[in-house]
Amino acid sequence: MDSPGQYEERVVWTVVGTGVGPLLLAATGDGLVNVVFHAVGAARDRALERLAARLGTEPVEAPRSPLLAEAIRQVEAYFAGGRRDFDLPLDWSLISGFNRQVLRELAVGVPFGQVVGYGDLAGRVGRPDAAQAVGTAMGANPLPVVVPCHRVVESDGGIGGFGGGVDTKRRLLALEGVLPEPLF
């Protein structure tokens, strides 16, 4: 006889210190499912509550989980300047439709050290009139840094918005050599 919850998805998480502050990394058996900026205190707790509600299971803190080991290693290497690309299995279950299509294109089509405009990215997925919808997709990105929404900028040269905050976006673009290092 099956035990209750036997087939529930297991979700593990940990918080990793980075050059842009603490990042929460969460993974399932399918791959990395969520990256959350500023993951301390109430912000971390809210992120975990949202994740539990969306995936239907309580995330378990497991910093030594094999499901997280490679993601931790690659994130740390990225922030140390030793990694330019992520090569991780990703669990796309928190995003669907147009948003998923745009984020998948971003993940494979905009390499380290380059940026793309919202409208240009919309054109790449066959919707040149959907720049605003691309902005919405960037804001819904459950995997920032790994799926590099920080590389999407305004066509007029502006930096654009960012879920982790504009200062975080500037730091990530500086890390990739797109912008100069912030002075403070």
Query: Rounded to an integer, what distance in angstroms lies between the CA atom of residue 83 and that of residue 61?
Result: 26
> With b meaning 16 or more CB within 10 Å and e meaning fewer, what string describes 9-41?
eebbbbbbebebbbbbbbbbeebbbbbbbbbee
Pairing outcome for strands 31-36 and 23-28:
antiparallel
- In the numeric block, the tokens 């305004």 are attached to 154
146 is catalytic: no
> Is the Cβ–Cβ distance between 32 and 142 less than 8 Å?
no
**Rounded CA separation 86/75 (Å):** 8
Name the catalytic one among 149, 152, 153, 173.
Answer: 149
DSSP 8-class letter at 161 = -
Q: Which residues pair with 12 in a beta bridge?
A: 27, 60
User: Which residues belong to the active site?
Assistant: 149
